[in-house]
Chains A and B, each alone.
Chain A
Amino acid sequence: MQSLATRRRQDFWTSLVLIGVSLFFLWRTSLLPFAGARGGGVGAGNWYMSAGLVPTFIFGALLVLGVTLMVIALRQGGAPRGFPVWSWARSAEGGRILAAAIILLAYIFALVPRVDFILASALVILALIHGFHETRPRATLIALAAVMLPAAYALVVNFPSSRWATPHDDDWLVLTAFLLLILASWMDARTARGRIDPYLKIAPIISVLLPLLLICAMAFGFRQNVPNRTGLIFSQIEYHYYVSWRPWVQGQ
């Protein structure tokens, strides 16, 4: 647990956010009909039937607790002394968390919707293993760049959902980034330590095999939905599963 002063400084800023969010949602709740509520075309104009009743209670309570938190924070030495996020982000720990968070956000918002799931996941797994198993800032930066460049391309060039499934340019770019990252991670590790960690040696294989097996198990074993069926690799797997493999197994 962090020191009391640090916690209370955080609590001060959190309380401000809580108060702001509560007030915003209390305003949004006030837009819901209270006395003139209607359900299924029938008047239900009693206050106690309103859809806004419980949210008013919740956001009202949050507002009270936000103010209480601020009072406690100020009483226990949490008075603001600069915005703590800036100093935290510049620290080694903050940098690692930010880098990991950016990679996760890029994976979910940019890569998974647009890029073949096997390729996107392979790139992100390898980036996380190299960037965070190696605790050096340079390794983290290499990992971040390897994910961010193709993710930014996919996001900018294929932004609208109508383009998520069609072109494969971003798939090829991710594949290139993955191959370059393998080389870069090995060179970086060798430069820094004179040898490559055994885990880094097998990381590319894990990175490809895991999403490959998972998506095949989900799609063909568990019969679940899987992301981006039209991706560069999965579309081929699915085609050959239904056109080549299953007829062959069934003896046709």
Chain B
Amino acid sequence: MMDLMLGQFSNFGISLWLLASDPVTYVYLIGAVALGILFGALPGLTATLAVTILTGFFGNKFPVEQSLIALIGAYVGAIYGGSYPSILLNIPGTAASAATAMDGHPLTKQGRGGEALGLTTTASVIGTLTGTFFLLLLVPLLLALARQIASPEKALLALFGILISGTLMSKDLVIKGWIAGLIGLAMAMVGMDPILSEHRFTFGWSYLLSGFMVVPVLMGCFAIPQILQGMREGPLAGAPPQLGRIRPQFGTIARNLPTIARSGTIGVGVGALPGVGEDVAGWVSYGTAKSLSDRPEEFGKGSLRGLLSSETANNACIGGALIPLLVLGIPGSPPAAALLGALMINNVAPGPTIDPMLIARIVAILVMASLTILVIGLFTARLFVSVLRLPQTIFLPAVLVLTTIGSYSVGGGINDLFLMIVVGMISYAMIRMDYPIAPLVIGVILGGMFDESLRRSLFLADGDPSIFVTRPGAAILLGLCLVLILSQLPPVRRTLARMTPRRRAV
């Protein structure tokens, strides 16, 4: 095990040196991080959209090593960039930075907007580096464990991923998240079945034989609803206030290091849950910081701890979200799902057989991207702040053209555009009715794995379903799936509700 870790650290060192010594890296990285910050800063554009659009541009025509610099750079930049409008305008640029607005905007009202931005930048960098550290540390260990995972565990992991994503991402009824996940799974069933090559739900249309392409589905799910939402709302922009000093006082950072460390760990943990994104990480960390604080009344009124907790966690979530992605091929967040789409079209299969050098390179890119946001965030923040004046009705039509050409280019067919727009319209209707979209995307991505692994497991056991309980790993996962389902049944919920006040009383 020690050799494995040392080998991984050595690979990381080599990758970092190769990246840092190649001038092309900086061209991709600075451009991608700046684009990411722009996407994060403009309300209506998201991190997932940034990664998806860049996937369309880079497609499979560029070496995956180079594409990854752009995609990860944009991912890190966008999660950080969302804090700009949250702090300055009280409009979260991305869902990930919604918790940041709670204390960021009150600080702006107190004339400390620049200070808040500086602290956010530092917290984001520390958060990303925390996530990166855990990624470097855990992935080799988990990959060694993942080699023990067979078809029954894979099938149940896919099911668990969809269930947990549906459970945690639902704002209204939990079953809406599960319905979204099942719709995603159903979409993944279209095409030739992976074992017997049986045509399923193709209705005689040859385009559907290869199933739904991931990139048009991602663009449909994330870009089209955003455009329609923006057109509904009309021009949405604000006049950012005067910033003042941006560079943070390092004493403030040092005093809040325990909060930062705890938030980073929470971010990694939430990120590692399949399909649960940076927004949940931000809120969980914010809530934890408030409940553990000796001055909880300051939260929501410009507390620096509140600001640092959410912003560290949402960036640490990036590293966490990449852990299940690289180990099992299960994306930990919606932008990670888009990243998986990029890996898939480049024929890179995450999982136990993934090239260790690729993991080391991803970690090295994350480190360089976080250093890039530190430089850009502290020295060019005013430039990005001026972008906040741009109304969404001006840039969202441009996003439509970007997604159209990106979606067309990856698949090379007009049918991909038809798929994108149909999926987009359905996704918008679902979002309007409070169905989360992340479980749908996770379902589309994991559907093939679920189908193949489930049938392969039953084949190995001659049709005996007890294979899902006799293997310890499978039994644990099945138990978790059952707990998730049973916990939503009305009698169980009533019992849990009755128990909660009693516990408080005790």
A contacts, CB < 8 Å to B: 1-2, 7, 10-11, 14, 18, 25, 28, 32-33, 37-40, 44, 46-55, 58-59, 61-62, 65-66, 68-69, 72, 93, 96-97, 99-101, 104-105, 107-109, 112-113, 117, 121, 124-125, 128-129, 132-133, 135, 199, 203, 206-207, 210-211, 214-215, 218, 222-227
Give the distance to chain B from A183, nearest Cβ to Cβ, in Å.
Answer: 19
Given contacts A7-B172, A49-B455, contact A37 B408 (CB under 8 A): no
Give the distance to chain A from B63, nearest Cβ to Cβ, in Å.
Answer: 13
A108 lies within 8 A of B234 (CB): no
Closest 3 CB pairs of A and B: A48-B458, A51-B198, A224-B409
Q: Can you report 8 residue pairs joining A to B where beta carbons are below 8 Å apart?
A: A14-B433, A37-B196, A48-B455, A59-B186, A101-B425, A101-B428, A108-B421, A222-B62
Given contacts A214-B405, A225-B408, contact A129 B463 (CB under 8 A): no
- Max chain B Cβ within 10 angstroms of own Cβ: one of A48, A55, A68, A226: A48
Give the distance to chain B from A177, nearest Cβ to Cβ, in Å.
Answer: 16
**Interface residues in B, total, Cβ within 8 A:** 64
Give the distance to chain A from B232, nearest Cβ to Cβ, in Å.
Answer: 5
A129 lies within 8 A of B397 (CB): yes
Question: Which of A11, A18, A224 contacts B57, CB < 8 Å?
Answer: A224
What mask results when residues 400 to 431 of chain B are scored 1 for a CB within 8 Å of chain A, else 0? 11101100111010100110110011001000
Give the distance to chain B from A8, nearest Cβ to Cβ, in Å.
Answer: 10
A201 to B178, alpha carbons, bound, how many Å? 47
B420 lies within 8 A of A108 (CB): yes
Of B127-135, B287-295, B388-396, the one with at least 4 CB within 8 A of chain A:
B388-396
A237 to B176, alpha carbons, bound, how many Å? 49
A124 to B397, alpha carbons, bound, how many Å? 8
A128 lies within 8 A of B396 (CB): yes
A135 to B233, alpha carbons, bound, how many Å? 9
Give the distance to chain A from B381, nearest Cβ to Cβ, in Å.
Answer: 24
Given contacts A48-B459, A54-B189, A128-B393, contact A112 B414 (CB under 8 A): yes
CB-CB < 8 A to A50: which residues of B?
196
Question: Which of B172, B173, B196 contacts A49, CB < 8 Å?
Answer: B196
B195 at the binding interface (Cβ < 8 Å): yes
Question: Which of B197, B228, B401, B451 contacts A97, CB < 8 Å?
Answer: B228
B179 lies within 8 A of A37 (CB): no
B178 lies within 8 A of A96 (CB): no
A49 to B459, alpha carbons, bound, how many Å? 7
Question: Which of A58, A61, A100, A108 contacts B418, CB < 8 Å?
Answer: A108
Question: Which of A25, A105, A225 contacts B186, CB < 8 Å?
Answer: A25
B494 at the binding interface (Cβ < 8 Å): no
CB-CB < 8 A to B176: which residues of A?
69
B401 lies within 8 A of A7 (CB): no
B183 at the binding interface (Cβ < 8 Å): yes
A108 lies within 8 A of B186 (CB): no
CB-CB < 8 A to A117: which residues of B?
405
CB-CB < 8 A to B196: which residues of A?
37-40, 44, 49-51
A223 to B412, alpha carbons, bound, how many Å? 12
Question: Which of A44, A207, A224, A227 contacts B414, CB < 8 Å?
Answer: A227
B398 lies within 8 A of A104 (CB): no
CB-CB < 8 A to A10: which residues of B?
433
Closest to A214 in B: B405
A241 to B175, alpha carbons, bound, how many Å? 55
